[in-house]
Amino acid sequence: MNTHSLERVVTEISEKTVPIERLIAGASLFLASLLVTISVFLRYLFSYSIGEFVEITGYLIIWSTFFGASHLLYKNGHLTIDVLLIRVSERKKLVLQTFAYTCGTFFTLLLTFYGLVLVIQSIQLDVRSISALRTPMWIPQMVIPLGGSIMFIRFLQKALSHFRLLTSNTGGAETDR
């Protein structure tokens, strides 16, 4: 399989994960907001608090963060510090961006692998939260390999795309995805 066909396959996978990550990020953030709102109303109107809401809200925000970060990478929405990039040629900029995306690819591959190891160990050892819910920790920890794998796909897609541009004759054009 050559680089161009690999890029095409990764792009297809990336496009298919967009609705899933939008749903997970959006639903997680919505549910976290809903739980916080309910908690505030219960506390102020009835002087009643549901402590488990804090734990669940924390898990939901983490899920939203992982999948939201992946979607931002897909949309090129992350903040970049371009002090160096504005001072170099288009070709050097492309080299630096390709390097950054390649580093991101390897980092998210490691994150996914070790996240999966963590989940497997948590299942084997039956690790649970110390709260009243006694949540099996593999459930909130699953965000690490799931979110990491989608970010891996995004970084790989961008690295391959930039590498293709770098090795092409034009070698300096920008890419959106």
For tokens 């899920």, the residue is: 63
Q: Which residues pair with 128 in a beta bridge?
A: 136
Query: What does the pLDDT read at residue 177?
Result: 45
In this structure, are residues 36 and 61 in contact, taking their beta carbons and an 8 Å threshold? no
Query: What does the pLDDT read at residue 36?
Result: 96
User: CB neighbours (10 Å) of residue 127?
Assistant: 15
Phi, then psi, of 128 in degrees rounded to 5: -130, 160
Whole-number Å distance between alpha carbons of 3 and 165: 11
Whole-number Å distance between alpha carbons of 153 and 43: 43
* Per-residue pLDDT tens digits of the chain, which is 177 residues long: 677 788 888 889 888 988 999 999 999 999 999 999 999 999 999 999 888 999 999 999 999 999 999 989 888 877 777 777 788 888 888 898 999 999 999 999 999 999 999 999 999 999 999 988 999 999 999 999 999 999 999 999 999 999 988 888 665 555 444
pTM, rounded to two decimals: 0.84
Query: What does the pLDDT read at residue 170?
Result: 61
Whole-number Å distance between alpha carbons of 157 and 102: 10
Query: What does the pLDDT read at residue 110?
Result: 98
Q: What one-letter code names the amino acid at 71?
A: H
Question: H or E segment at 87?
Answer: none
